[in-house]
């Protein structure tokens, strides 16, 4: 868990809604592996995201990331593209639950929205992120940030790899006990 993740930053504004992350035009798609090709197609200036994203790159956003629809495509399309974690000041409730339930981490980072607006963290910056303690370093700008911890239940679900594996492991434990 002490591992340091390294990758480039893709920086987004506040209030990135689910249609900007994954447009409703592609909702009928149900295979998560086919979803990354549509990521951020509707976000102005990030039309190249799907083509240029490299596994390990980070999505960095301001407040209220993932507001709007409950579509889980908006989590899958980033997870399947190899984005290891979303760094956002805050994120919408449903988006956050969808992320946790798929074992996909979101770090809540205080001050990130202002830092993005002030250009302290920019597209293409090299980032180092330690998930275990929430420390984030922008190697390019020299700025550091701190992500929040999550609740025990959320951590357990994420550690199991998501809600489905979590339930399966509980079920197995229950079968053993019983």
Partner 1 sequence: MGKTFAEKALGRAAGHPVSANEVVTVEPDFCVSHDNTGPISRTFKKIGVKRVWKPERLVVILDHGVPAPSSEHAVNHKEAREFMKEQSAPHFYDVSSESGVCHQKFPEDGFALPGQIVIGSDSHTCTYGAFGTFATGIGRTEMAAAWATGGIWLKVPESVKITATGALKPGVSAKDFILKVIGDVKSDGADYMSVEFHGDGIENMSVSERMTLCNMGIEMGAKNAVCEPDRKVLDFINGKEKSSDWEILWADPDAAYARELKYDLGGIVPGVAKPHTVDNYAPIGEVKGRKIDQVFIGTCTNGRLDDLRAAAAILKGRRVAVRTIVIPASWNIYRGAMRDGTLDTLLDAGCIVCNPGCGPCLGAHMGALAPGEVCVSAANRNFKGRMGDKESFIYLASPRTTAASALTGAITDPREA
**Of the candidates 3, 4, 27, 159, which one interacts with partner 1 according to CB under 8 A?**
27
Q: Does residue 119 bind partner 1 (CB under 8 A)? A: no
Examine residue 70 and tell whether it contacts partner 1 (CB under 8 A).
yes
Candidates 8, 98, 127, 129: give the one binding partner 1 (CB under 8 A). Answer: 98
- The reply to whether 167 sits near partner 1 by the rule CB under 8 A is yes
Least separation in angstroms between CB 73 and partner 1:
9
d(CA 115, CA 66): 19
- The residue within the footprint of partner 1, chosen from 49, 88, 92, 106 (CB under 8 A), is 92
Nearer to partner 1, 38 or 127 (CB): 38
Residue whose CB is less far from partner 1, 53 or 74: 74
Question: Which window, 59-67, 80-88, 115-123, 126-134, contacts partner 1 (CB under 8 A)?
Answer: 59-67
Contact 47, 159 (CB under 8 A): no
**Cα angle value 86/11/151 (rounded, 5°):** 20
8 or 23: whose CB is closer to partner 1?
A: 23
> Among 139, 149, 164, 173, which residue sits at the site for partner 1 (rule: CB under 8 A)?
164
Structure tokens at 5: 């993740």
Q: Which C-beta is closer to partner 1: that of 139 or that of 149? A: 149
Nearest to 112 by CA among 159, 65, 153: 65
Between strands 4-11 and 126-130, the pairing is antiparallel
Q: How far apart are the first and last CA of the chain?
A: 32
Look at residues 105, 100, 110, 3 and name the one whose alpha carbon lies nearest to residue 59.
105
Buried b (16+ CB within 10 A) or exposed e, 27-52: eebeeeeebbebbbbbbeebeebbee
Residues making contact with partner 1 (CB under 8 A): 15, 17-20, 23-25, 27-30, 41-42, 44, 63-64, 67-72, 75, 90, 92-94, 97-98, 101-102, 151, 153, 162-164, 167-168, 171
């Amino acid at each position: 868990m002490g591992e340091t993740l390294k990758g480039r930053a893709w920086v987004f504004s506040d209030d990135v809604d689910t249609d900007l992350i994954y447009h409703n035009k592609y909702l009928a798609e149900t295979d998560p592996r086919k979803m990354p090709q549509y990521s951020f197609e509707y976000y102005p200036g990030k039309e190249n995201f799907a083509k240029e994203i490299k596994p390990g790159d980070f999505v960095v956003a301001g407040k209220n990331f993932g507001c709007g629809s409950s579509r889980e495509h908006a989590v899958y399309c980033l997870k399947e593209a190899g984005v290891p974690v979303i760094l956002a000041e805050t994120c919408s409730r449903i988006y956050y639950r969808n992320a946790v339930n798929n074992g996909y981490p979101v770090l809540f980072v205080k001050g990130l929205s202002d830092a993005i607006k002030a250009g302290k963290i920019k597209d293409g910056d090299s980032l180092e992120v330690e998930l275990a303690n929430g420390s984030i370093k922008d190697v390019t700008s020299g700025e550091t940030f701190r992500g929040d911890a999550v609740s025990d239940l959320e951590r357990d679900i994420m550690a199991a790899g998501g809600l489905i594996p979590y339930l399966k492991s509980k079920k197995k434990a229950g079968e053993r006990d019983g």
